[in-house]
Amino acid sequence: MGAIQRLDLTSSKNKPVQLTTERAIYREPSFSPKDNNLIVYREEGGNGNQGYVNTKESGIYLLEVNHNRRSGYKSTKRLVTNEGEYPTFNKDASRIYYQTGGYLFGSLTKTLKSVNLDGKDARELVKSKYAQRIIPSPDDNWIAFSNLYKVYIAALPVTGNTIELDGRSTNVPVAQVARDAGINLHWSAHSDQLNWTLGDEYFSTPINQKFTFLEEAPDTISKMDTVGIKINLSLPTDKPKGIIALTGARIITMNNDEVIETGTILIKENKIIGVGQKASVSIPADAHIIDVSGKTIMPGLIDVHAHLGHFRFGLSPQKHWQYYTNLAYGVTTTHDPSANTEMVFSQSEMVKSGAMVGPRIFSTGAILYGADGDFKATVNNLDDARSAIHRTKAFGAFSVKSYNQPRRNQRQQIIKAAHDEEIAVVPEGGSTFFHNLSMILDGHTGIEHNIPVADVHKDVIQLWAASETGYTPTLIVNYGGLNGEYFWYQTTNVWEDEKLLKYTPRGIIDSRSRHRTMAPMKEYENGHILVSKSTKKLADAGVKINLGAHGQIQGIGAHWELWMLAQGGMTNMEALKAATINGAHYLGMDDYLGTLQPGMLADLIVLDKNPLENIENSNSVIYTMINGRLYDTDTMNEIGNGEKSRGAFYWEMNDYAPAFDWHGETTTGCSCEADH
C-alpha cells in the first residue's frame, strides 16, 4: 500500500508532495507531455505477498491535480479502463496507450492498445506473438518491443489496422538492437534513442544507426553492442557485529560423521571461528554467551529446489512471508530452479544487503524452456545457447535450468555454453525416463525431480554413480504415484501447526490441509516410499542426494522431504547430509556452507531435540542463525548481538479482515455472534 507523490526536481530543497490519500498498490505513473498536473497510472489487484485489502478496484486511472496556496494540493481520479498495464500518453496527450497480455509468463500474444482520456474509442495498434513488452516512442512514430528476450525497434505507421510484429517482420521496418536480452526499455525524450539494461549494464542505441533511410544514418548498419556502461551500484553485504558463543549443545558438524557432545560454537560477525568440546574453545570476554545445554546444533537446511513466490512481477514487500517461514523452520539456503529473473535476483540482493530478512537465495532465474510460451528459449545452435546463458548470468545466476528442450543436441549445446561460462545446468525431464538418462549421460549437474521409474536396477545405478550427476528427487511432488505431500496432509493435522500459522497466510494452509486427500497407505508404499528406496540405492552407490521441497508448503515442506528420504531407508545421518552438505556441494558452495567448521559462514540451527535419535526431531528448531544473525523461531525476532523485532505481516494489520479468528475458533470470539 502506498501513494503517488510528485517531486519538483528544479531545486534540491524541494520535498515530495503526496497526491493521493486512498490506500492502493500504485504502479507505473506517467506524466502527460502537455501538463504535469495530469498523470496516468495503474492500481494493481491484490496478491499473495501484499494482501488483497484496498485492491478491489484495479485498473488504469487518470489523476488530475489542482493546487492553490490556501488548500494545497487536491487531486481527483477517474477510471479509464479495467484492463491492461504500463499506461502512457501519446504525444498530444489526447490518448492513453497500454499493453494487454501481461509481461513475461503472460499471454502468448501481447497487444498494444489505446483509448481516449474517457476510456472510449478503443484501438488495437500492435500485436506480437512471443512478445514481452511493447513500448511506443514519445513522438508516436516508433515501437520498441522485446520478443523471446531479444529487443527490436520498428516503425509505427498510422494505418488504421493492427500491425503484427516479430523479429522477422517485413510489413514495417524492423531492426534488432540487443543481441542477448534487455529489460527496462525506455525511449529518450526526443524519440531518437532507445535505452535498456541487462544485469548491471546500461545500453543505448540511436535509431538512425539501425535504419539506413534515416537522416545521418551510416551506409551500413552498425553491429549490436554486447558491452554496456557499468551501472556500478555497490552496497555492503550485511553482517552483524560482535561475537556470539553457543555453549553446551550437541553439535552435528556434518564433517563426515563427527558429532561433538557438550560443545561450543564461536561466531564472529558472520563466520564461525571456533568449534569443539566446551573446554577446548576459548570464549572472549566480550562475547555474548547463550547457553543451549541439552540442545542440538547442526548446519542450516539447504533446499536446492525451493520455489519461494518468485513468479510474480511488481513491488517487493518489505517482509516476504515465505522467507520468514523457511527461516523459522531452519532453512537457511535456497535455490529456486524456476523464477522470474528480475524478482528473484533483486530480492536476493536485498537480503544480502540487509534490506530484507531471508535465507540465502540462489536461482536459475527464468528457465531455458523448450516448449511454447512467451518465455521459451529458442536454442538451435551453440550461439543461441551462449546468448541464453549470457542473459541469465548477467543477473547473477551461477546455474540455469534446461527444461523441455526437445532435442538432445539442444540440451548438449546448453551444457557446452554453460561449461564455457562456468555455469551449472540443472535439467528437468518432464517425467520421461529416457530423457532423464540422456541428461545423465550428457553431463548435467544434476537431475531435478524423481525419475518416473520407481524401482531402479543395477544398469541405472552404475551409470548414474559413474557420471557424478547429482539427484534432487523432490519426493514431495513424486512422479509416477501420489505426491509425497499427501502423506503428511493425511497423517498430520497441518492446520494445527501454530508456528506455520504465524508465518503463512491462513487461507493457504486451510485450503490444502482441512480438505485433504485420503488414500490407502499402500498407495504411498508403492509411490513416494518406493521412489525413496531407489534413491537410497543410488546414495549407497555414491550418487549425492539433495533435499528439494519444491515450495509445496514453505518451511515444514523441507522437513517432510527430509523425513521421506529416511522412509526409503537412509539413516538419519545420511538424510541430514542430503539436507545440508550435499546441497552445498550441489550448488558449489561447500567451501562456505553445509558444515560447522572454522572459516565457514555462520548458518546454523538450534534444535530442542536430537534428529539422530528420531529424524522427525528436525522439526524442533528454536533458533535459526543466518549469516551470523540469530532469530528466535517462535517470534522471528532477532536476538543475539543485533536485537530487532519483526514487523507485522499484511494479514496481521488492522485493516485486514480474515473470515474467522486467525487460529480457527468457531464460536467463542466469532464476529457472527454480534448478529444473533
pLDDT tens for residues 265-278? 999 999 999 999 98
- Of residues 193 and 11, the one with the higher pLDDT is 193
- Of residues 24 and 663, the one with the higher pLDDT is 24
pLDDT tens digits along 44-84:
998 888 888 888 899 999 999 987 777 778 889 999 999 99
Give 668's pLDDT tier (boundaries 50, 70, 90). Answer: very low
The helix (run of H) or strand (run of E) holding residue 391 is helix 382-393
Provide the pLDDT for residue 657: 58
Domain that holds residue 21: 5-183
Place of cell 504525444: 91
Ranking 82-86, 471-475, 654-658 by mean pLDDT, the lowest is: 654-658
* Average pLDDT value for residue range 433-451: 95
* Average pLDDT value for residue range 162-190: 94
Place of cell 548446519: 299
Q: Does pLDDT of 673 surpass 80?
A: no
Gap between the Cα atoms of 100 and 92, Å rounded: 22
Flag whether 651 is in a domain: no
Gap between the Cα atoms of 324 and 638, Å rounded: 12
- 471 and 567 in a single domain? The answer is yes
Percent of the chain with pLDDT over 70: 96
- List beta partners, residue 247: 264, 291
Provide the pLDDT for residue 1: 66
Q: Does pLDDT of 663 surpass 50?
A: no
C-alpha closest to that of 335 among 396, 391, 256: 396
DSSP letter string over 341-390?
HHHHHHHHHHHHHTSS---EEEE--S-EE-SSSTTB---SSHHHHHHHHH
* Average pLDDT value for residue range 545-566: 98
Provide the pLDDT for residue 669: 36
Q: Does pLDDT of 595 surpass 70?
A: yes
Provide the pLDDT for residue 13: 85
Burial 601-634 (b: 16+ CB within 10 A, else e): bbbbbbbebbbbeebbbbbbbebbbbbbbbbebe
* Average pLDDT value for residue range 136-148: 97
Query: For the CA atoms of 614, 616, 617, 619, what is the dihedral angle to 10 degrees?
Result: 170
Give CA angle at 312 (311, 316), nearest 5°: 120
Flag whether 414 is in a domain: yes
* Average pLDDT value for residue range 548-575: 98
Flag whether 208 is in a domain: no
- The 8-class DSSP code of residue 189 comes to T
What's the CATH code of the domain at 622?
A: 2.30.40.10
Give 2's pLDDT tier (boundaries 50, 70, 90). Answer: confident
- 277 and 138 in a single domain? The answer is no
Provide the pLDDT for residue 325: 98
* Average pLDDT value for residue range 211-239: 89
Give 131's pLDDT tier (boundaries 50, 70, 90). Answer: very high
The answer to whether residues 357 and 637 touch, using CB atoms and an 8 Å cutoff, is no
- 547 and 628 in a single domain? The answer is no
- Of residues 675 and 115, the one with the higher pLDDT is 115
Provide the pLDDT for residue 267: 98
- 606 and 467 in a single domain? The answer is no
Provide the pLDDT for residue 434: 92
503 Cβ contact list (under 8 Å, min separation 6): 321, 324, 325, 328, 554, 555, 636, 649
- 542 and 443 in a single domain? The answer is yes
What's the CATH code of the domain at 588?
A: 3.20.20.140
Place of cell 510489413: 171
Q: Does pLDDT of 295 surpass 80?
A: yes
- 293 and 318 in a single domain? The answer is no
The helix (run of H) or strand (run of E) holding residue 428 is strand 424-428
Average pLDDT, the chain: 93
Rounded to a whole number of angstroms, the CA Rg of the chain reads 27
Flag whether 675 is in a domain: no
Ranking 107-116, 199-208, 313-322, 478-487 by mean pLDDT, the lowest is: 313-322
